[in-house]
Structure 1
Amino acid sequence: MRTERVRKGFYGSDMNTNTGIHPFRVDVPQAELDDLNDRVTRARWAAETPGQGWARGTPVDYLKELAAYWADGYDWRAWEAKLNAFPQFTTEIDGQRVHFLHVRSERPDALPLLLTHGWPGSVVEFLELIGPLSRDFHLVIPSLPGFGFSGPLTESGWNTRRIARAWAELMRRLGYGRYGAQGGDIGSGVTRELGVVDPEHVVALHVNGGTTYPSATEDDPTLTDRERARVRRMNEFMSEAGGYIAIQSTRPQTLAYGLSDSPVGQLAWIVDKFRDMTNLEKELPDEAVDRDVLLTNVTIYWLTNTAASSAAVYYEEAANWGEQEPSSVPLGIAQFTVQDVALRRDEEKANNVVRWRDYDKGGHFAALEAPDLLLTEIREFFADYR
């Protein structure tokens, strides 16, 4: 079966995981890359209503151009080498395989820092930040359970709270008695939950984008202009582009058949979300995020066949949207344009917010869109918690 071939090629003897920590390298069989290329070049293209642009989803002409580059210009092996330039490992936690990068700093007083990506992201988001961040921090960068090389899932129940418990166990296994954590998107939810499940060891938390959705309405007279713009953006997003949340929260398995069988379908699904959530001043997703980075992200989803298991976190979280158990761990929040919609008043209801920064540059994927600002944010915030 195709899935078994991929697993053997990627993982080799490491398929027999246990609570130990095992070295890992990405090594995709050439046959899998040839199959991907063949499927992309033989894609059956959907018809579209003329003149709609992005209003109904990813346009055919744009997707054809991007797919053509994926087949004939993009170099997976170069990105495979970039990943393998950093130490990678796997371990089994709570019955689930967990893949992670572990890059230790040469700085004697370096603080261990856990970085968590979101959907539709991967550890690729952090590659350009590893060098500068590792001057000050020991970095642990895991793939979320069910995502990329941590996938697929072995059982249900992997919500952000359970992932946070797994991250706490991972840091324990690595010998880190105190550490900080940072994340965005789903990673912000996981990061925030660490303050609930492991407050004895996590010294501070930082997120980009926030951990809540606005509770206020747009006509609330107590809102600032910036806050009102955020509420307006949230309402626009949910009415125009929030369908992916609904389907991944209710029918992730049904959706996954198309994404797992068609790389162009997987590309269209992820590109559409990058377009919706990146800087609103950018017309196209690959204007906001480097085209090769975007395609590397999509390629990882395709090669690991994790469309279903990566969407499952939405299903698991659906029953508890908006609920937060109080956390006293210091929390820093950075908002990058109105694409990040959290309001400080909501964040402070259950969180110990000690830093709030609002930027006019970037978007929801800060590590890719505004890495310089995020780098400064992380360094400044955690300077007080070494």
Structure 2
Amino acid sequence: MPDPLPRPEPFIQQTSPAALEDLRVRLRATRWPDAPEEAGWSLGTDLAYLRELVDYWAESFDWPAQEAALASLPRFRVPVGGLGIHFVHARAVAPVGPALPVILSHGWPDSFWRYSKVVPLLTDPGAHGADPADAFDVIVPDMPGFGYSDRPVGPPLDSIAVAGLWAELMTVLGYETFGAAGGDVGSHVSRYLGLDHPDRVVAVHRTDGGLPVFRGDPADLSPEERSWIEGTAAWSATEGAYAAIHRTKPQTAAFGLNDSPAGLAAWIVEKLQAWSDCDGDIERSYTKDEILTNVTLYWLTETIGSSMRMYRANSAIPPEQLARRVEVPSGFSLFSGDVVRPPRAWLERSTNMVSLTEPERGGHFAAFEEPELFAEELRAFFRPYRAAATG
């Protein structure tokens, strides 16, 4: 007889007062660097803004209240592939007909936090002005080495391996077929779910197409594709230093980031500001409490090093894997404030693209920045594939 499937156990995290006091002590003892006058965000994280944020973090931020809000989501842990995986599993509320199971994969620098606002919009659309027939069962795992999932003790896992874990997780939860969606690293994981499990994944939705990998004759590319590849290379040269460190020497950076909460905040906040649709003002997209909830999750779980190491693993994926074409129906919502947005011709070249929309608001973290808009994008895309999914 086959081994019985593992049983998910409810998960509630309660941080000790000692851990929070240690955090406040470290914040108050921050040794600040200098910065040129009027540098702002041009050299990286703005010194004046970070000092303001750190002061709020030390003196006013209420982590227990944020922790309690996150605990309102139905959260679990279960062993999958030898690792304890933390995940949200929220079932549809009063669906009209079978609910569509969908697994949402996050990226860096975030965790299940990315989708915390959209879970109720997707599970209970009728309560939010949408069609109850569009209800989902929503599964949001923390990737290995992120959030409350285990950190691999051996080599870091790449997106292909994580996609395999997610397929196993969906089996544990009783879903034979399902939809997959994601952004950033989660876009790659969703892609490999479609590539390696096409008999189970009914459709794949992504908010980006990833960075371009093309080893053919440039003459075969459209002018728009060539322009995009050149623009992406220019973006990587000016904005990609973080990724180069993650791919090559993540452990060196991890020492400082894991020891200094102000340094950790600087590393993460700069990306929230640069990649969001905020016109340079980060608090147009996030409140201080929202920013610090994300950063505090990294601090308390000590996962900045392990999360960065996934870049190292992904950089070793063979070119033949990167070049595979996704034949599962694929859709893209390219939010206007995101970075390196690919042209239609590239998406059609690399996937069986059946849908492309360009929402006018939202950036790289669209599910958190514009949850209602993101939820409507998912409802519309997956609507034709509901009948093909079973739970």
Structure 2 matches for 1:180-329, cutoff 5 A?
A: 180-213=179-212, 222-223=222-223, 234-279=232-277, 282-320=279-317, 323-329=322-328
Distance in 2 between residues matched to 1:61 and 1:211, nearest whole Å:
33
The structure-2 alpha-carbon separation of the partners of 1:360 and 1:231, relative to structure 1 and needing over 3 Å to count, comes to farther
Q: If the length of structure 2 is used for normalisation, what is the TM-score?
A: 0.88
The one of 60, 65, 72 equivalent to 1:78 is 65
Distance in 1 between residues matched to 2:45 and 2:376, nearest whole Å:
34
Q: If the length of structure 1 is used for normalisation, what is the TM-score?
A: 0.89
Structure 2 matches for 1:50-65, cutoff 5 A?
A: 50-65=37-52
Distance in 2 between residues matched to 1:151 and 1:56, nearest whole Å:
34
Kept in 1, the 8 Å contact 2:158–2:317? The answer is: no
What is the letter of the counterpart of residue 372 of structure 1?
Answer: E
* Alignment-derived partner of residue 361 in structure 2: 361
The structure-2 alpha-carbon separation of the partners of 1:151 and 1:268, relative to structure 1 and needing over 3 Å to count, comes to farther
Alpha-carbon offset, residue 324 of structure 1: 3.2
After superposition, the CA RMSD in angstroms is 2.4
Gaps of 5+ in 1: 1-17
Structure 2 matches for 1:151-166, cutoff 5 A?
A: 151-166=150-165
Runs of 4+ with deviation above 6 angstroms: none
SS of residue matched to 1:89:
strand
Distance in 2 between residues matched to 1:340 and 1:321, nearest whole Å:
22
SS of residue matched to 2:116:
helix
Alpha-carbon offset, residue 112 of structure 1: 0.6
Distance in 1 between residues matched to 2:91 and 2:99, nearest whole Å:
9
The one of 96, 99, 103 equivalent to 1:110 is 99
Distance in 2 between residues matched to 1:362 and 1:61, nearest whole Å:
25
What is the letter of the counterpart of residue 98 of structure 2?
Answer: D
* Alignment-derived partner of residue 4 in structure 1: none
Could you list the per-position Cα deviations for residues 216-250 of structure 1 after superposition, in whole angstroms to 9, with x for gaps in the alignment? 9xxx99545xx788657634432222100000000
Kept in 2, the 8 Å contact 1:212–1:347? The answer is: no
Distance in 1 between residues matched to 2:38 and 2:317, nearest whole Å:
40
SS of residue matched to 1:91:
strand
The structure-2 alpha-carbon separation of the partners of 1:313 and 1:221, relative to structure 1 and needing over 3 Å to count, comes to closer
Distance in 1 between residues matched to 2:233 and 2:44, nearest whole Å:
18
* Alignment-derived partner of residue 100 in structure 1: 87
The structure-2 alpha-carbon separation of the partners of 1:62 and 1:321, relative to structure 1 and needing over 3 Å to count, comes to farther
What is the letter of the counterpart of residue 37 of structure 1?
Answer: R
Distance in 1 between residues matched to 2:318 and 2:118, nearest whole Å:
31
What is the letter of the counterpart of residue 357 of structure 2?
Answer: R
Moved more, 352-361 or 167-176: 352-361
Distance in 1 between residues matched to 2:80 and 2:222, nearest whole Å:
46
Could you list the per-position Cα deviations for residues 83-133 of structure 1 after superposition, in whole angstroms to 9, with x for gaps in the alignment? 111211111122222100111113141011101110001111211111110
The structure-2 alpha-carbon separation of the partners of 1:157 and 1:63, relative to structure 1 and needing over 3 Å to count, comes to closer
Could you list the per-position Cα deviations for residues 156-208 of structure 1 after superposition, in whole angstroms to 9, with x for gaps in the alignment? 14000000000000000000011101111111110111012211111111011
1:125 aligns with 2:129: no
Distance in 1 between residues matched to 2:156 and 2:305, nearest whole Å:
14
Moved more, 254-263 or 235-244: 235-244
1:341 aligns with 2:341: yes
Kept in 2, the 8 Å contact 1:252–1:308? The answer is: yes
Distance in 2 between residues matched to 1:372 and 1:47, nearest whole Å:
40
What is the letter of the counterpart of residue 379 of structure 1?
Answer: R
The structure-2 alpha-carbon separation of the partners of 1:321 and 1:347, relative to structure 1 and needing over 3 Å to count, comes to farther
Kept in 1, the 8 Å contact 2:333–2:358? The answer is: yes
Could you list the per-position Cα deviations for residues 317-346 of structure 1 after superposition, in whole angstroms to 9, with x for gaps in the alignment? 112387232321111111011524223222
Distance in 1 between residues matched to 2:92 and 2:115, nearest whole Å:
16
Moved more, 284-293 or 92-101: 284-293
